[in-house]
Structure formats: structure tokens, C-alpha cells
Amino acid sequence: KLLTVSILGAALVAGTAQARDYDHVRFGVDVPYEPMEYRLPSGELTGFDIDLGNALCEEIGITCEWIVQEWDGIIPGLMSRNYDAIMSSMTINDERRQTVRFSDPYFTPPSAWFAPAESDIDSLEGMAIGVQRGTLQDNYVTDLFGDVASISRYSTADDMVLDMEAERLDIVFLDYPVGKSTLLDSEERDYVVVGEMITEPKEYFGDGFGIAFRQRDEALAERFNEALATLRENGTYDEIYQRYFGE
């Protein structure tokens, strides 16, 4: 009899662990990735993801907190419960879907190639290419140009931008809004977008940015999806969008 009771108890505990009800959510985020997530001179975190994430938590009626984590270890950090979700310009794709559960997409920018304005690039052969390690841009460049170009992988996007400014790279491949804000808008030097905006193939470029959760947190993901729909309807999403991408 005792045995049955303790087995039942264990099942109950496992059950609650499966459908945990959050009143506080910790987001893992990799910074700087301007204008998506970065620090003000005061050290305070800001950016499109930060403002949208905070607004979503407010709409749901929970508190949230941001935990800075280098991109390369951001999914393992979610699995180790260092935080409960990732909101860090993470592109939804099938490979990541095997490990995490994504919210609906909240932003769908293309990727783009950025190079100094004076450069004349008609082929990537022999080029020194920069990417952030572990991004879809890294996967794409490694698979398509790994044999013909020299690829440098950076743990943070700003280390890559510094090497670009120091002329150690010919070209970098980035989420377009980040290249725009860190290179096109830079006062250091003139940069341009080389070629087209890139959104295909989907296998690499996925389905827009989503918030990543642990697979079992379906209810939590649903609460964020509902809140996102509300913020799109009531104008809050547009207001945040204008703050970072308006002219």
C-alpha cells in the first residue's frame, strides 16, 4: 500500500514539473546584437527584443528577468534551466525545433552580406568572411563556402564588427537589421550591402525570429503567443517597432 502511495506521489511531482505555471520568466539573451539586444552606456539592457519581451510579460501578468549568455551556449543554457526561455533574435528552423519549442514568429528580417563601400566583390572565393559562431549564418557559410573561403567565427557580433573595422575581414554575413545598425549606420567607415537580401533556402534561413522554450512548456509558449497577438492588435508592437526601426 505504502508503495502505491509513493509511486503516486512521484507521478504527481513529475506531473507538476511537466506543466509548471510560471509567474516569473527568465530570458537568456546574447548581447550586444544591436538594435535587437544591447546595453546602454549605463549598462541597462535595451533593444527590440528586450522591449518586446518586457511588454509580453506585462501583458501576460508575469515578471521577467534577462540573463546574459553567449550565443554559442544559449540552447544548452535553456536545457540546464539557467533560464526559462530564449529571446535573442533566434531564427526558428527545423534543426532547432528538434530541441526547443518556438513561439510564433515575432519578426522576420532577411540576412545580408556587408562589405566596405570601396570593395568590389563578385565572388566569395578566397574572401575572408566573418560570421557569429553557431548562428544560421555560420551554418550556411560553412556548408556553402567552407572549401573556397576563409571563415572567421566570432563569439560576439561586436568582435566581428571590430575586425571588420580593423580590415581583417573582407565581408560579413549577418541578420540585416544588425548589419544595418552596426555597419551601415557606423561613422567609422562606409559600408554597403553586397547583393540581394537572403531569405532562402528555408532549411537555413527558417521562419523568422521566435522565443524558444523547453519542449514541455507548451502552456507557457501559448501564453506568449496570445500576448503577442494582443500586442500586435493594440498597437504596442508597432510602437516598439517604430522605436528601433522607424526612420
Q: Considering the rule CB under 6 A, would residue 38 count as an interface residue with ligand ARG?
A: no
Size of interface with ligand ARG, in residues (CB under 6 A): 13
Joined together, the cell numbers standing for residue 137 give: 549564418
Q: Please pick, from the candidates 22, 27, 33, 176, the single residue that binds ligand ARG as defined by CB under 6 A.
A: 33
Provide CB contacts within 8 A for 8, sequence distance 6+: none
Q: Considering the rule CB under 6 A, would residue 172 count as an interface residue with ligand ARG?
A: no
Q: Where are the alpha helices (DSSP H) in the chain?
A: 2-18, 48-60, 74-79, 94-97, 136-145, 157-165, 176-179, 202-205, 218-233, 236-245
Choose one: 29-37, 56-64, 146-154, 227-235; the region binding ligand ARG (CB under 6 A): 29-37
* N residues, the chain: 247
Nearer to ligand ARG, 28 or 116 (CB): 28
Q: Considering the rule CB under 6 A, would residue 135 count as an interface residue with ligand ARG?
A: yes
Distance CA 192, CA 136 (A): 21
Choose one: 10-18, 120-128, 130-138, 237-245; the region binding ligand ARG (CB under 6 A): 130-138
CB of 35 to ligand ARG, least distance (A): 11
Q: Considering the rule CB under 6 A, would residue 157 count as an interface residue with ligand ARG?
A: yes
Provide φ and ψ at 194, rounded to 5°: -100, 120
Q: Answer for the pair 78, 100: CB distance below 8 angstroms, yes or no.
A: yes
Largest interatomic CA distance in the chain = 81
Joined together, the cell numbers standing for residue 191 give: 559600408
Q: Please pick, from the candidates 57, 129, 136, 231, the single residue that binds ligand ARG as defined by CB under 6 A.
A: 136
Q: Considering the rule CB under 6 A, would residue 141 count as an interface residue with ligand ARG?
A: no
Kind and range of the H or E element at 114?
A: strand 111-116
Q: Which of residues 48-87 bind ligand ARG (CB under 6 A)?
A: 71
Strands of the 111-116 sheet, one edge to the other: 150-154, 128-132, 171-175, 111-116, 191-198
Q: Considering the rule CB under 6 A, would residue 161 count as an interface residue with ligand ARG?
A: no
Provide CB contacts within 8 A for 2, sequence distance 6+: none
CB of 2 to ligand ARG, least distance (A): 51
Q: Please pick, from the candidates 25, 27, 28, 30, the single residue that binds ligand ARG as defined by CB under 6 A.
A: 30
Q: Please pick, from the candidates 37, 84, 170, 217, the single residue that binds ligand ARG as defined by CB under 6 A.
A: 37
Q: Considering the rule CB under 6 A, would residue 103 count as an interface residue with ligand ARG?
A: no
CB of 61 to ligand ARG, least distance (A): 26
Q: Answer for the pair 75, 86: CB distance below 8 angstroms, yes or no.
A: yes
Q: Please pick, from the candidates 50, 84, 85, 88, the single residue that binds ligand ARG as defined by CB under 6 A.
A: 88
Q: What is the binding site for ligand ARG (CB under 6 A)?
A: 30, 33, 37, 71, 88-91, 132, 135-136, 157, 175
